């Protein structure tokens, strides 16, 4: 007579429960590859992380995402508004500091242009230094000047979307003179460039983007 199943299983060692498997490196890398966006090597536009080809020009995209999930590039007009906000703030601060330090040029309308230039030169140099230090601290620490932060913009590295270090932030601020000197053509280039970058952005490998995906 066959023994009941309950009798046969008495004393048998229970089978170990299956332990959950940790995600493999391949799975983890595949998951991380879906976070962020890809930059097209042809037209420099943002594309979704899952895209294999650029939606604008059709060029093959990198295998993994190269930029964190920011919004698209900020255009000329919103960057102009940010520039105006910063210019007003800096003008007030520079005028106050120049007056305190005794380097304010004062009224130079009645002076010959050579003497007027000599009177205003210290204030111009001082103002340029304040602007450069302001941009270095703000961009290096918070990712943007006050005007950009108010409008939801960030300055990031173009190559990988990473944070701009202090040295590069200072260099970018000084490079803006290259955009300003030829009647502002380097700034106008933001409106003309498909990637919406000024000359100083090209020189310093940066771009200005929206902080949130749009």
pLDDT tens across 2-18, in order? 555 554 555 555 555 55
Give exposure, 87-112, as e/b (b: 16+ Cβ within 10 Å).
eeebeeebeeebeeeebbbeeeeeee
CB-CB contact of 104 with 95 (8 Å): yes
H or E stretch covering 36: none
pTM of structure: 0.67
Q: What is the mean pLDDT of residues 82-94?
A: 94
pLDDT at 29: 42
Write out pLDDT tens, residues 93-124: 988 887 787 766 666 666 666 666 666 777 78
From CA 119, how far away is CA 113, in angstroms rounded?
A: 10
Of residues 20 and 192, more confidently modeled:
192
| pLDDT tens column, 118-168 | 667 777 888 889 999 999 999 999 999 999 999 999 999 987 778 899 999
Per residue in 197-214, pLDDT (tens digit) is 999 999 999 999 999 866
Domains of the chain: which residue ranges?
22-69, 76-210
User: Please, what is the average pLDDT of the chain?
Assistant: 80
Instruction: Label the pairing between strands 206-210 and 153-157.
Output: antiparallel
DSSP single-letter state for residue 12: P
Three-state DSSP class for residue 195: coil
Quote the pLDDT of residue 105: 63
């Amino acid at each position: 007579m066959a023994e009941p199943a309950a009798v046969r299983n008495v004393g048998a060692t229970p089978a170990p429960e299956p332990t959950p498997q940790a995600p493999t490196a391949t799975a983890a890398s595949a998951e991380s590859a879906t976070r962020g966006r890809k930059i097209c090597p042809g037209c420099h536009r943002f594309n979704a992380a899952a895209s294999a080809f650029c939606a604008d020009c059709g060029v093959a995209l990198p295998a993994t995402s190269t930029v964190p999930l920011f919004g698209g590039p900020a255009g000329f007009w919103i960057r102009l508004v940010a520039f105006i906000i910063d210019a007003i703030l800096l003008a007030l601060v520079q005028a106050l500091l120049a007056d305190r330090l005794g380097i304010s040029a004062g009224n130079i309308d009645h002076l010959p242009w050579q003497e007027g230039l000599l009177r205003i030169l210290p204030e111009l140099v001082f103002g340029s230094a304040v602007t450069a230090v302001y941009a270095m601290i703000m961009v290096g620490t918070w990712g943007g000047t006050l005007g950009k932060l108010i409008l939801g913009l960030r300055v990031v590295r173009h190559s990988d979307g990473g944070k701009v270090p202090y040295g590069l932030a200072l260099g970018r601020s000084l490079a803006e003179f290259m955009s300003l000197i030829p009647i502002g053509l380097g700034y106008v280039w933001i409106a003309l460039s498909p990637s919406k970058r000024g000359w100083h952005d090209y020189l310093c490998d940066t771009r200005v983007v929206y902080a949130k995906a749009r």
